[in-house]
């Protein structure tokens, strides 16, 4: 099968389209013929081996997992002997290492039936970004109807889902983004939009019950100024950075954790993990039209390097998707 493979860390130039062996589903796995995959900041960080400290887990000289990509949507080709919930021919979406390929193996418990009415491209945009937004708002942020929520990075892959999910949870939503994305964020249902080039949401603005920071361009102390006295700051280090750092976004998250015990507000760090239950919850939001994936651009499989270069250089809005 064709797949995007890397042997060493570096720029998108280290990614190569190669013919490799097709994976075989284990007892608790499904083999999916990939129809679409999505690009995430995670792919960029894994490609670069950034932050350097992460190489203790990822591999010193090069990545242990050679095939890039995480989000996918496609058709089940085969199932392991212990899988009963899914069958060949099912249209599914989920998360698994190695999604930039014609086939991917994934644990059955992190694969779900695609939402009705979505294309493969739209479904592939959902898993990692949608799950991150859902966990940040529902699980860590504990959003309740009527609360005021601010999403910093509202036009990004996670942010476009966060605005819509917060609205679906009944919140009054403020989205922070750049000038060119103001109308996009407003179209997603944001009640208020802050253009960060003209206004600093951490200085003199209204106070919010929850700030979901998806960018990390403001310190935790600054973000706290946008909170009510008992508000919650959810920190995520998922944004694309300049790279080459020892700790990268982990430094910001560590600062937040260190500060949390000494302030009245809640400061929590968002670490999203794949979840079939959360994919099912996302499907329940998508099918009635409460959440709609937004796609910036699509690229064919052989242009994955260009897709990642676009993500890191042009600061793509919403999702960048790979068609297979």
Q: Check pLDDT > 70 for residue 51.
A: no
Rounded to 5 degrees, φ, ψ at 192 are -140, 145
Domain ranges across the chain: 2-126+293-323, 129-269
Find the mean pLDDT for residues 206-218: 93
Domain with residues 2-126+293-323, CATH architecture: Alpha-Beta Complex (3.90)
Q: Tens digit of pLDDT for each residue in 61-97?
A: 677 788 999 999 999 999 999 999 999 999 999 999 9
pLDDT-above-90 percentage for the chain = 74
Q: Is 88 helix (H, G, I), strand (E, B) or coil?
A: coil
CB of 228 within 8 A of CB of 150? no
Lowest mean pLDDT among 158-167, 212-221, 302-311: 212-221
- pLDDT computed for residue 276 by the predictor: 95
**Global pTM?**
0.90
pLDDT-above-70 percentage for the chain = 87
What mean pLDDT is reported for the chain?
90
Q: Check pLDDT > 80 for residue 245.
A: no
Split at pLDDT 50, 70, 90, the class of 205 is: confident
* CATH number among 1.10.10.10, 3.60.21.10, 3.40.1360.10, 3.40.50.720, domain 129-269: 3.40.50.720
Q: What are 295-298's contacts with CB under 8 Å, separation 24+?
A: 295/121, 295/122, 295/125, 295/319, 295/320, 295/321, 296/320, 297/321, 298/121, 298/322, 298/323
Q: Check pLDDT > 60 for residue 193.
A: yes
């Amino acid at each position: 099968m064709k797949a995007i493979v890397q042997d060493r860390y570096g720029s998108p130039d280290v990614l190569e389209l190669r013919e490799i062996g097709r994976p075989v589903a284990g007892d608790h796995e499904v083999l999916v013929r990939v129809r679409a995959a999505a690009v995430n900041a995670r792919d960029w960080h894994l490609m670069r081996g950034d932050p350097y400290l992460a190489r203790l887990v990822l591999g010193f000289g090069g990545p242990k997992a050679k095939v890039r990509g995480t989000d996918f949507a496609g058709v089940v080709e085969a199932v392991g002997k212990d899988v009963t919930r899914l069958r060949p021919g099912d249209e599914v979406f989920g998360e698994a290492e190695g999604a930039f390929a014609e086939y991917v193996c994934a644990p059955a418990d992190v694969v779900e039936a695609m939402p009705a009415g979505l294309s493969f491209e739209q479904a592939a945009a959902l898993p990692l970004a949608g799950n991150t937004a859902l966990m940040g708002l529902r699980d860590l942020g504990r959003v309740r109807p009527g609360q005021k929520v601010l999403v910093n990075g509202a036009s990004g892959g996670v942010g476009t889902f966060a605005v819509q999910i917060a609205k679906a949870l009944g919140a009054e939503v403020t989205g922070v983004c750049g000038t060119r994305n103001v109308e996009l964020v407003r179209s997603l249902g944001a009640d208020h939009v802050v253009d960060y080039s003209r206004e600093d949401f951490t200085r003199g603005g209204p106070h919010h019950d929850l700030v979901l920071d998806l960018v990390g361009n403001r310190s935790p102390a600054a973000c706290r100024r946008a909170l009510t006295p008992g508000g919650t700051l959810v920190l995520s280090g998922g944004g694309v950075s300049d790279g080459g750092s020892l700790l990268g976004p982990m430094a910001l998250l560590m600062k937040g954790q260190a500060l949390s015990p000494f302030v009245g507000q809640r400061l929590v760090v968002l670490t999203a993990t794949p979840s079939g239950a959360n994919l099912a919850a996302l499907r329940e939001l998508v099918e009635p039209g409460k959440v709609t994936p937004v796609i910036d651009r699509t690229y064919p499989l052989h242009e994955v390097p260009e897709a990642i270069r676009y993500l890191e250089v042009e600061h793509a809005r919403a999702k960048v998707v790979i068609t297979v």
